[in-house]
C-alpha cells in the first residue's frame, strides 16, 4: 500500500518553476528563487509512506527509513488528522501522507485487523 502527497502539490510546484524560468529570462538574479518550488516539487513527489506485510517504509525528500511491524507499538492520530507510529523504542515516527481516514488501509496492509482502543 502506497500513501503519497496529493499530486496537485507537485503540479503547482512545477508550474511555479516554469513561471520562474520565464521571469528569470528578464531578471536573472531571480533564478535563485527557483530552488524553493523545485524543492517542494521533489518533496511532494518523493515523500510518503509504504506499508506491506513486513513493515513500513517512510520516505522523505532525501532518504527513507524501514521499520518492521514488530518495532511498532501503536499507531496514533493527532487532532489535525496526521498519523504517527509509536515505536517500541519509545520514539515517534510521523507517517507522511497518511491521514486518519487511511488507518484501515494502513493496518490492513500489515495483515492484521484494526482493533480500537489498543
Question: Which cell is 39 given?
Answer: 524543492
Q: Are residues 1 and 22 in the same domain?
A: yes
Q: Are residues 35 and 9 in the same domain?
A: yes
Tell me the average pLDDT of the chain.
90
Q: Are residues 76 and 34 in the same domain?
A: no
Q: Are residues 42 and 54 in the same domain?
A: no
Give the position of cell 509504504. Answer: 50
How many domains is the chain built from? 2
pLDDT at 104 exceeding the cut of 70: yes
Determine the pLDDT at residue 32.
85
Strand partners, 74: 86
Q: Are residues 105 and 54 in the same domain?
A: yes
| Strand, helix or coil for residue 72 | strand
Domain extent for 6? 1-46
Determine the pLDDT at residue 15.
93
pLDDT at 113 exceeding the cut of 70: no
Q: Are residues 38 and 60 in the same domain?
A: no
Q: Are residues 101 and 55 in the same domain?
A: yes
Strands of the sheet containing 2-4, edge to edge, are 2-4, 48-51, 55-60, 63-68
Q: Are residues 64 and 28 in the same domain?
A: no
Q: Look up the pTM and report it.
A: 0.78
Q: What is the DSSP letter of 99?
A: E
Q: Are residues 69 and 109 in the same domain?
A: yes
Rounded to an integer, what distance in angstroms lies between the CA atom of residue 57 and that of residue 66? 4
Q: Are residues 38 and 73 in the same domain?
A: no
Q: Are residues 31 and 68 in the same domain?
A: no
Amino acid at each position: 500500500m502506497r500513501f503519497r502527497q496529493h499530486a496537485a502539490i507537485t503540479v503547482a510546484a512545477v508550474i511555479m518553476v516554469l513561471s520562474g524560468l520565464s521571469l528569470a529570462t528578464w531578471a536573472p538574479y531571480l533564478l535563485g528563487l527557483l530552488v524553493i518550488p523545485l524543492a517542494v516539487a521533489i518533496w511532494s513527489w518523493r515523500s510518503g509512506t509504504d506499508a506491506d506485510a513486513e513493515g513500513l517504509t517512510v520516505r522523505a525528500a532525501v532518504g527513507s527509513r524501514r521499520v518492521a511491524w514488530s518495532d511498532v507499538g501503536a499507531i496514533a492520530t493527532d487532532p489535525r488528522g496526521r498519523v504517527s507510529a509509536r515505536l517500541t523504542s519509545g520514539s515517534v515516527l510521523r507517517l507522511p501522507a497518511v491521514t486518519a481516514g487511511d488507518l484501515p488501509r494502513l493496518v490492513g496492509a500489515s495483515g492484521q485487523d484494526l482493533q480500537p482502543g489498543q
